[in-house]
Structure 1
Amino acid sequence: MSVELQGLLPADYRDGSFIGRALAPEGPCVIAVREGELFDLTQDVATVSGAIARRSFAGGRSLGPVENGLPEGWSLLTPIDLQAVKASGVTFAISAIERVIEERARGDSARAAEIRASLEEKVGTIREVVPGSAEAMRLKDLLIEQGMWSQYLEVAIGPDAEIFSKSPVLSTVGAGAMVGVRSDSSWNNPEPEVVLVCDAHGEVVGATLGNDVNLRDFEGRSALLLSKAKDNNASCAIGPFIRLFDDGFTIDDVRQANVDLHILGPEGYVLEGSNDMRQISRDPLDLVEQCLSEHHYPDGFVLFCGTLFAPVQDRDAPGAGFTHKVGDVVTISSRRLGKLTNTVTTSRDAPPWTMGIGAFIRNLASRGLIDRI
């Protein structure tokens, strides 16, 4: 049975250009969608990273119209391979407030509602300032005087954005895969985000969708647990495809994007939310510049832009807020980028990550593709 693609792509997919990856019986392949047709580019360029570096998106072997889906025996992969996976946090005012709540609650979801009520009144004005501005620095001084300052407010309104490494190279999962939360986490949530795709020079060549799975209890106990809260097996989903920038889709479309979230629980629970990029505190290109900064990513990088989504609705016990259950179906969608759907399991029970860099290179070598990386 072929994998259906048409429902994953945006409605205007025939007007755009897309690149991604699929797993064929012989190994990972680079695929592209142009003018409604699916192509296998692997014999021309064997990695998405290389295709972006060389702007090699044309040509390839036709696999037929998109509505036919992937060939029999193929499955969809995350659309990135050798790129570094970076993320920016606390880029929306409401997410900054929620991070401070986690910090003050010490990761205890039962204390969150009470803290939220008092904190919103005292630091809600951060929505109105430009990060790094003189006004932001005056607000910082005031909040310090009031004993309300936090490391999260520093990255929310200070000059430097929070940029961190989300996931190792080749560890992300794609549309349709299981997405993992740690088995010992009791307060966690999805984070629906726009993901910018950049070449080695920091030029943004396209965008896709991502789920930066977040463990609020771990990070809330200590910001030094960020890597444990963020980087676990199957904890980073990206897809379905990278939409390449062209005359009809640009960075301005990213700036105006709305990312919708729908969660369907195994017990029938439904939660909906959205991430409005128009409310972001820092321009996406500023985040890219801060990510590159005094570093180098020779195989390119992707950058999660952050989210304003932070669910506060109670799922079970009053005051306990939202947390995932195994079997939750998470759908992240955006009008110009398509749909990313994953089912929640634990990172312990998710399929193990086995194709690292070594295995990937060995596979390409066995297929005679090393010189096409």
Structure 2
Amino acid sequence: MERLRHAAGWAPRGGKGTRCTVSDSGTRVEERSGHESPAPPGGAGPRGGAGWVAGLFLLLVLLLLGIVVLLISQGTIPIPVPEVIRVLTGRGAESEVSRTIVLDARLPKVVAGLLAGAALAVGGAQMQTLFRNPLADPFVLGVSSGAVLGAAVVILGTGGAGWLAGLDVLSQLGVTGAAVAGAAAVLVVALGVARRVGDPVVVLVVGVMLGYLAGAAVDMLVYYTDPDRLQALTTFTRGSVRNVTWDELRVVAAACGAVLVLSLFLAQPLNALLLGERYAGSLGIDVRRVHFLSLTAVAVLAGVTTAYCGAIGFVGLAAPHLARGLLRTADHRLVLPASALIGAVIVLVAEYIAGGNGLAGTAMPLNSVTAFVGAPVILWVLLSGRARREGR
């Protein structure tokens, strides 16, 4: 426990040593005198202190609850907000139709979007720390590309005129099962390399190459297939939570829950990794184990969410940066829960805009909406980083 306190920025009281500061602009190690009081976790601490942090988390929770109720109430058949609240709190509904719409039609997609957004954001924060790359996200290992490839094989190759129409096994496997199988194949290769090599840079390069290979295979399938079959594949790749059922939600919840629970135990080791792998190792942290656990959980998450919800882009990339910017700290004990809340809000708001409001006859893909959040954040990260370098 004492070692983890050092990793989070604490030093022994009344003794000489070093102080490790963690902030949104980076990390540094400073010599400290023997009579200096210990620095708070995360270096200088978040902007505004504990009051700002509590207020921010309260605001995010209220915002999340508000968008959940709003998204459930809106649709092709609007349901009054008080009626939604009565159904969700178990006080009964005025009509059985409202109860069925809320619980069976709309609540599964809202829960799926909430869990997927939270877990993708937390996974993105972990990947950015592990790879020391501000542009890393849960899909960096190429697992989502493997899921798309598996889905493409079934969507484009089976059916009446498909070139795999005779393979009943693939037809019975279905799009979701094939996507999970494709993601698992890429996952086995990526984690095999991670376990054997242990170098996150090599793992990153291997993941990118696997993603390119899977993408090239999908392009070849598209080139030789019937154009009329491409619409289903296009819809799958652009992301959607509106078709998730309660049975499918169990799988999504298991994958997302694993990442969220694991993040509770990885916050302190990730803080130490901000200062470098050698420093974290000197504190007694098993760096390779942290890498393997994080990569396994996030890769499974990327595969499952892509299989059931499509490739929801930009959330895992943008949410951690927004969390660090609002908190003014890189302390994972604050960044990870804030990222989860922000990621959930982004996905649910995107789903509301994309078609959950019931104002349009057709629904846009989630990626078309999340890109409006993610792309400006990426530009902000790049430009602010360049401005800091030029200011030195």
Larger Rg: 2
Larger helix fraction of residues: 2
